């Protein structure tokens, strides 16, 4: 590999040409591109090469305050929250169309910033417009007012926008996650401040550029880039009515505490340690084909990765051999290569964290069947071999903590009750899957799993279906009408005699 690949990687994305100086050096506040007040800059390091590729200015608390002020004014006095659902729907569709023309750029950006393999990025980035289109549809069909008869007359139940929303997403999947948050927030009539993370600073700014092109009123969508300090300042700002956060459980707890102070509405989409339960009647090849893409998607840096695999004890050896062979045969390397299945992890810090977990797995007695270290043959970036541990027991650290890397833990069970117990023996409850030839059986086992999303024989996340976690995987839901509800407040207005029909 060496220099040739480094050259191909570094020439794969020309930020000056593809993003332009405005997106590279400004924030978007009140419908305008503004020079950041913050002066501290950090380097964006390519995970594919380990070399710096851009400088990122971190927003100051002043930058955050300016963005909140603009969003507040747009909410309190601007047209957006006062438009009807169908009016907002038309603008959302225009925004989605503007974004659709930039999807190839947003996909390449994901590869450039954090090393998502192009085939993975191309598959998942269109979630952004799928969510915008879904919420445009919902904005035009939702009854934002409803009449209910009462003893003394009647009440109008008005679904009001929650207000100014802070949207905070992690580095691992900016575009898809912002699709959920932004689609629902704008459909509801909220105005928003997006705090983009320093690892993926430019995606939200590209979306802001599209918003300007589509003609979204000024102040409705504001973007600042910042780290944890800017994030903490944003969620505790008195101008914020609603926080929609996706990230780690540790940060989610801090945000929940900050929001408790002012009773700020909060949705939390947090970490996971999801279990795939392979039942004894599952067909091996079909199970592997459906399961493998979701055990370590984007090098395991996806919240719903199926990282614990529960197999019947009598089939354990056969499954471990077959699964190890498939994982050991995955094509690792340059994320810009369309054939690559496993690229680098996103950062040096992430690589070191994953290696530490692998070391802990070994020292606590799990049996390594493939991988287990760095992959220098893939390049000078942050490459970790796809790694499988067998003989994992529920007390081991690698069975309990979210690793967020390409590491799978196989655990054996004796009967279905024990499998359900193992699947539920976790602080998390985000996702899960059941593999079986018998769909009725799969459904009844799925009902027993304490997770927000459980899939039988595969994995799907659909725009019209709620996504979110039980237990420490979060509070609230995104997607579907439930996701829209998270950005609304119900107001009851009692009237002695009816007015006209509600709009």
Footprint on this chain of ligand NAD (rule: CB under 6 A): 168, 170-173, 177, 197, 227-228, 231-232, 235, 246-248, 251, 254-255, 269-272, 303, 402, 404, 430, 469, 474
Residues in the chain: 503
Tokens of residue 362, six digits:
């070994």
Nearest-CB residue for ligand NAD: 231
The answer to whether the beta carbons of residues 218 and 25 sit under 8 Å apart is no
Tokens of residue 325, six digits:
């062979």
Q: Is the dihedral of CA 425, 430, 433, 439 positive or negative?
A: positive
Angle ∠(266,426,117) on CA atoms, nearest 5: 75
Tokens of residue 85, six digits:
């659902």
Which of 199, 210, 259, 269 is catalytic? The answer is: 269
Q: Is 269 a catalytic residue?
A: yes
The answer to whether the beta carbons of residues 184 and 486 sit under 8 Å apart is yes
| Cβ within 8 Å of residue 67, ≥6 positions away | 27, 29, 193, 222, 223, 224
Please state, as a whole number, how many other Cβ atoms lie within 10 Å of the Cβ of residue 35.
10
Distance CA 431, CA 450 (A): 9
Distance CA 79, CA 115 (A): 40
The two beta strands, 432-435 and 275-278, are parallel
The answer to whether the beta carbons of residues 292 and 324 sit under 8 Å apart is no
| Cβ within 8 Å of residue 78, ≥6 positions away | 191, 217, 218, 219, 220
Is 161 or 170 the residue whose CB approaches ligand NAD more closely? 170
| Cβ within 8 Å of residue 108, ≥6 positions away | 12, 13, 18, 118, 121
Q: Among residues 136, 112, 72, 33, which one has the least CA distance to residue 381? A: 112
Cα 437 versus chain centre, distance: 31
Distance CA 408, CA 309 (A): 7
As measured in angstroms, the least distance from the Cβ of 276 to ligand NAD is 16
| Cβ within 8 Å of residue 363, ≥6 positions away | none
Phi, then psi, of 351 in degrees rounded to 5: -60, -45
H/E run at residue 139: helix 127-141
* Alpha-carbon distance values, 144 to 51, 159, 243, 489 (Å): 51, 5, 21, 10
Tokens of residue 311, six digits:
């197999």
Please state, as a whole number, how many other Cβ atoms lie within 10 Å of the Cβ of residue 305.
28
Task: List residues with catalytic annotation.
Answer: 269, 303
């Amino acid at each position: 590999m060496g220099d040739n690949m480094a050259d191909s990687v570094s020439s794969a994305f020309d930020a000056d040409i593809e993003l332009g100086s405005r997106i590279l050096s400004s924030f978007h506040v009140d419908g305008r591109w503004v020079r950041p007040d913050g002066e501290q800059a950090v380097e964006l390091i390519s995970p594919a090469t380990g070399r710096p590729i851009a400088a990122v200015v971190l927003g100051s608390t002043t930058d955050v305050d300016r963005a909140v002020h603009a969003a507040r004014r747009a909410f309190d006095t601007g047209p957006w929250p006062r438009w009807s659902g169908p009016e907002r729907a038309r603008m959302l569709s225009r925004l989605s169309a503007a974004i659709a023309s930039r999807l190839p750029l947003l996909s390449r950006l994901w590869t450039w910033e954090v090393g998502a393999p192009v085939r993975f990025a191309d598959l998942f980035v269109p979630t952004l417009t799928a969510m915008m289109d879904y919420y445009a549809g919902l904005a035009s069909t939702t009854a934002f007012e409803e009449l209910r008869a009462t003893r003394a007359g009647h009440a109008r139940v008005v679904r009001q926008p929650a207000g100014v929303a802070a949207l905070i997403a992690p580095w691992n999947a900016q575009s898809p996650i912002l699709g959920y948050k932004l689609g629902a927030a704008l459909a509801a009539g909220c105005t928003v401040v997006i705090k983009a993370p320093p690892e993926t600073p430019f995606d939200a700014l590209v979306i802001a550029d599209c918003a300007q092109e589509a003609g979204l009123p000024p102040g409705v969508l504001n973007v600042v880039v910042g780290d944890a300090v800017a994030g903490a300042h944003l969620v505790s700002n008195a101008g914020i009515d609603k926080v929609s956060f996706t990230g780690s459980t540790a940060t989610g707890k801090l945000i929940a505490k900050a929001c408790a102070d002012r009773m700020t509405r909060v949705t939390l989409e947090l970490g996971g340690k999801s279990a795939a339960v392979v039942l004894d009647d599952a067909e091996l090849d079909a199970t592997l084909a459906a399961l493998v893409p979701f055990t370590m998607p984007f090098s395991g840096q996806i919240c719903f990765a199926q990282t614990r695999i529960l197999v019947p004890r009598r089939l354990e050896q056969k499954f471990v051999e077959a699964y190890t062979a498939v994982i050991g045969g995955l094509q690792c390397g340059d994320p810009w290569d369309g054939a690559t299945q496993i690229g680098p992890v996103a950062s040096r810090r992430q690589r070191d964290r994953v290696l530490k977990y692998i070391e802990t797995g070994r020292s606590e007695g799990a049996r390594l069947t493939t991988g287990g270290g760095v992959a220098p043959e893939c390049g000078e970036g942050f490459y970790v071999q796809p790694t499988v541990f067998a003989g994992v027991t529920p007390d081991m650290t690698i069975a309990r903590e979210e690793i967020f890397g390409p590491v799978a833990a196989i655990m054996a069970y004796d009967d279905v009750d024990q499998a359900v117990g193992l699947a539920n023996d976790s602080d998390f409850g985000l996702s899960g899957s059941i593999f079986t030839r018998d769909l009725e059986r799969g459904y009844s086992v799925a009902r027993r799993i304490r997770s927000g999303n459980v899939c039988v024989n595969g994995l799907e996340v659909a725009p019209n279906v709620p996504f979110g976690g039980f237990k420490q995987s979060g509070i609230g839901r995104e997607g579907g009408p439930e996701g829209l509800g998270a950005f609304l407040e119900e107001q009851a207005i009692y009237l002695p005699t009816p007015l006209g029909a509600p709009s």
